[in-house]
Amino acid sequence: PSEGIKRREQVVTLHTPILKDLGDGYLSKTHFQVTNKSISPDLKKENGSTEQTLLTHVEESSDDSQVAGVCATEEVIRYEYHVLYSSSYQVPVLYFRACFLDGRPLTLDEIWKSVHVCYQARLQEGPWDTITQQEHPLLGQPFFVLHPCRTNEFMCSILAGSQKDNRHRNYIVLWLSTVGPVVGLTLPLSYAKLEPEENTNAEID
């Protein structure tokens, strides 16, 4: 691995902020996912947990060449996540896009197939977190987005439960912990201990 990257079992991590604060614009995070192409689709269907053994995550890097030297049986996908505020719905919105190292973007069908089966049923039940493609409001580029029309509804329930049980009540952390995993964005456990003003400066362990 390149200098600055530490491999820990199946996880490769760069010690950089999980979310970069880009001022008035948005929060941003980038990571690379390495998938093993040598495993047949039939095997994946037989054992859903197999998927967990096929993925390696490389956290944010300024140079794609750091992950270019993977095995021929693997392919690397670059994921970019942006958190913006919707003035219409008055809630945060998760935008994201993904592409291979050669620059070819993933199609909506490929994005859908990358969603874990445990979330696909929920996505089909209602419009609140349906994955759609639309123009990034600040960059003017095509991004995928989880629709925010019911974010306020489910977050009120989550916040009420957290307050009742005297648990962590940081809105962004709770929200990202709920919607992020649907599209492959997860937060380290250390984020559960952070105060609101500390979130954008935290580092992944």
pLDDT tens digits along 153-193:
889 988 888 777 766 678 888 899 889 988 989 888 777 77
Tell me the C-alpha distance between 25 and 82, whole Å.
Answer: 10
- Extended strands (E) in the chain: 6-8, 11-13, 20-21, 27-36, 55-59, 74-86, 91-100, 131-135, 142-146
pLDDT tens track for 87-110: 889 999 999 999 999 999 999 889
The boundaries of the domain holding residue 143 are 6-150
Tell me, yes or no, whether 126 lies in a domain: yes
Residue 125, Ramachandran bin (φ over 0: left; ψ between -120 and 50: alpha; else beta): alpha
149 is catalytic: yes
Q: Any residues with CB less than 8 A from the CB of 45 and at least 6 apart, and which?
A: none
- Mean pLDDT lowest for which of 34-38, 56-60, 194-198? 56-60
Average the pLDDT over 65-92 and give the result: 80
Tell me, yes or no, whether 162 lies in a domain: no
User: Which amino acid makes up residue 187?
Assistant: L
- Total number of domains constituting the chain: 1
User: Taking the model in full, what pTM does it have?
Assistant: 0.67
Catalytic residue among 99, 118, 149, 156: 149
